[in-house]
Chain A
Amino acid sequence: MSNNEYLFAAYAATWIIHIVYLGTIVSRYSRLKREIEELKKPAVRS
């Protein structure tokens, strides 16, 4: 019955890996969105 811990661990590990990767995509995307907002502002010339 303790073998079921391994089963759970394997499935959990799979989804943790996928979620971490998706997380990096999402965070890079939001950072990019912010950069785009910055670019859209008219340039301030001193």
Chain B
Amino acid sequence: MTPPTGITRVTLLKDLRLEWRSKDAINSMLFFSLLVVVVFSFSFDPSAEESRQIAGGLVWVAFLFAAVVALNQTWAREIRNQVLDAYRVSPAPANSLFMAKTLGNFIFVSVLEALMTPLFIAFYRLRALGPAWELMVVAVLGTWALVVNGTFFAAMSLRTRSREIMLPLLLFPISIPAILAMVQATTAILNGEGARFWIVLLATYDLVFTTVCLLLFETVLNAE
């Protein structure tokens, strides 16, 4: 009997391998990220003095859109091949599947962010006044917050009509405290101010929501 972590690892590797082989999703997402950065640059004048004030918000809104598109993708393949039903009847714990999907999404979205960030830095001539490693912490915690709820709601939206619109509809309201925290933290670090409160809030949010999503995923998966 494979331990749960083993199942997570296997599922995750399977997803990553499939993604790497098909390259469809990756290529379209890469181009999408570039488009987002360019559109934002036209919409919010990057040469303005205040760019360091608004950059935090801009970057995270761009990441949020990229994350939603990525999340909608990741369950699509499962549905096409009725993999979800197979998971339901298998003895594998639902949590393992959830962790695998969340980690896969996290890696996917992080890659996109890693690609978009240099573009933003270049277009907006950004320079952090605060420590850059703190920005990494915020990026990791913030991305995890979006992805853990996003994966959960994506699974929920599978069972609904208009599932592509349901995901952001459900994700955005609940993510508001996390989004506020990530944006405020990023802005603070960019301007050399303290971000500790926001980072702690974000970490707590991640802990609470990861736990609850893990607890509830089995119920959602088996809802009938």
Contact present between A and B (CB < 8 A): no
Which residues of B come within 8 Å of A, CB atoms? Answer: none
Which residues of A come within 8 Å of B, CB atoms? Answer: none
